[in-house]
Amino acid sequence: MKIFNTLTRKKEEFVPIEEGKVRMYVCGPTVYNYIHIGNARPMICFDTVRRYFEYKGYEVNYVSNFTDVDDKIIKAANEEGVSSEEIAERYIAECKKDMEGMNIKPATTHPQATKEIDGMIDMIETLEKKGNAYKAKDGTVYFRTRSFKPYGKLSHKNLDDLQAGHRDIKVTGDFKEDDFDFVLWKPKKEGEPFWKSPWCDGRPGWHIECSVMSKRYLGDKIDIHAGGEDLIFPHHENEIAQSEAANGVEFARYWMHNAFLNIDGVKMSKSLGNFKTVRGISEMYDLQVLRFFMLNAHYRSPLNFSADLMDSAKAGLERIKTAVEKLDGIKNDGEMTADEKDKLKIAESFTEKFETAMDDDFNTADAIAAIFEFVKFINVEVNDASTAAFAGSLNDSLHKLTDVLGLIVDKEEEILDSDIEALIAERQNARKEKNFARADEIRDELLSRGIVLEDTREGVKWKRA
Ligand code: AMP
Ligand code: ZN
């Protein structure tokens, strides 16, 4: 199995630290609003990586954090007049709902920065003792970047070549020793959440959070560290500096980065305002379509969002579902015929192709092509006379592959608009008759089928969640 390692810029054979186990850490979102579909890209890609490792028999310890203390969260809290904690908890809950919709497995652990402050203080103290960190006169604790000789090894940047101007470079009023030093701990400002520390009341810098949460849940040395490519520099570079300086061992063996999800050729981001939330997309499409759309591209290729591509993803997914439905419909008893047994052998080639694609740095685009070949084979080779044993065996093989991609291909009986309207009318009647139990029952039944009701002044409105 080969993985493209950002560290070496090469595809390398995956060799786990511990046989049969994978320890991986994926940088998660900052929770100050609904996640957008750019944030969903690493979630979907690395969930698929995890699923493929599991398919191969590995036990995966998958850790993905929520950054729940940050300037943007504080700003959102101040605008709403609520606490940062309330904002973070709200959007963690919403993010988890979106993840469920995209069929992203919950991580083994989803740590939150604010619950790991002690570990951060410990690591900063270690860095200070080792001479890799210092307290400036305003109380800010900085990492002494030039004290970590391999700095720049991930982003392949040389400190002397680096231009001033990135987000950690000295700003007016800094008391840094050197422009490249970055913040580990910063003093509190009026109205901000803070914690006590040996240096001052304050809060951690962003980079130290991931170094500490990774260490706590996965150990000093991990197999894979992943995130979007915008994190290579400075975030991941700084994580390496902190972790390796503090722990004295290599931090992560393989660094994986997904390319951007773009819109009109520009990175989708909150700050540019060109984003679409996962929640918004869920009102137009089943989120399985979003997942399938993302996986149609290799994770290291930029991907442009468009309604056309989403519609073709929808049609492609439908083709797979129709093949599954066909297989489900075959009920003939009896033993598999010799001819069917031969055909099953041919069908094995699709699984092999799928695995070859996934073994090559998780090439989901080619893996999906193998699934489509499989679907075509099913359409040609399965008919009303086929045995259920044959159809069932093909169905199992196909499901194993779609499960790796996290695709749900069993058709749920779709509820028609007219049925929804009829149930809403029945609910209104039940309410008139003060039969609130029945009214609630209808609401819950619709909800369980993905229909959300909203009581408005103009009457009841509904949408597919
Ligand atoms: P953030 O909340 O900005 O820290 O981002 C959370 C994760 O989403 C990180 O791994 C980012 O690299 C990733 N990400 C953000 N925007 C995009 C995008 N447009 N395309 C792909 N990944 C993104
Ligand atoms: Zn991180």
In the reported structure, the alpha carbon of residue 229 is separated from the centroid of ligand 2 by a whole-number distance in angstroms of 12
pLDDT value, residue 451: 87
Question: Average pLDDT of 83-89?
Answer: 97
- What size, in residues, is the chain? 465
Over the stretch 242-269, which tens digit does the pLDDT of each residue have? 999 999 999 999 999 999 999 988 999 9
Residue 456 CB: number of other CB atoms within 10 A?
A: 8
Q: Identify the residue with better confidence: 448 or 342.
A: 342
Q: What is the pLDDT of residues 18-54, one digit of tens each?
A: 999 999 999 999 999 999 999 999 999 999 999 999 9
Question: What distance in angstroms lies between residue 212's CA and the mean position of ligand 2's atoms?
Answer: 10
Instruction: Print burial letters for 317-340: b (CB count within 10 Å at least 16), e (below 16).
Output: beebbebbebbeebeeeeebeeeb
> What is the rounded average pLDDT for all residues in the chain?
94
Residue 384 pLDDT level (bands cut at 50, 70, 90): very high
The model's confidence at residue 171, banded by pLDDT at 50, 70 and 90, is: low
Q: State in Å: Cα 89 to ligand 1 middle.
A: 19
Collapse the DSSP code of 14 into the 3-class scheme (helix H, G, I; strand E, B; otherwise coil) and give the result. Answer: coil
Q: Whose CA is nearest to atom 11 of ligand 1?
A: 228
Tell whether the model's pLDDT for residue 172 goes beyond 80: no
Instruction: Tell me which of 6, 25, 230, 235 to substitute to probe ligand 1's pocket, judged by most ligand atoms within 8 Å of the beta carbon.
Output: 230
CA distances from 404 to 227, 378, 399 (A): 20, 19, 9
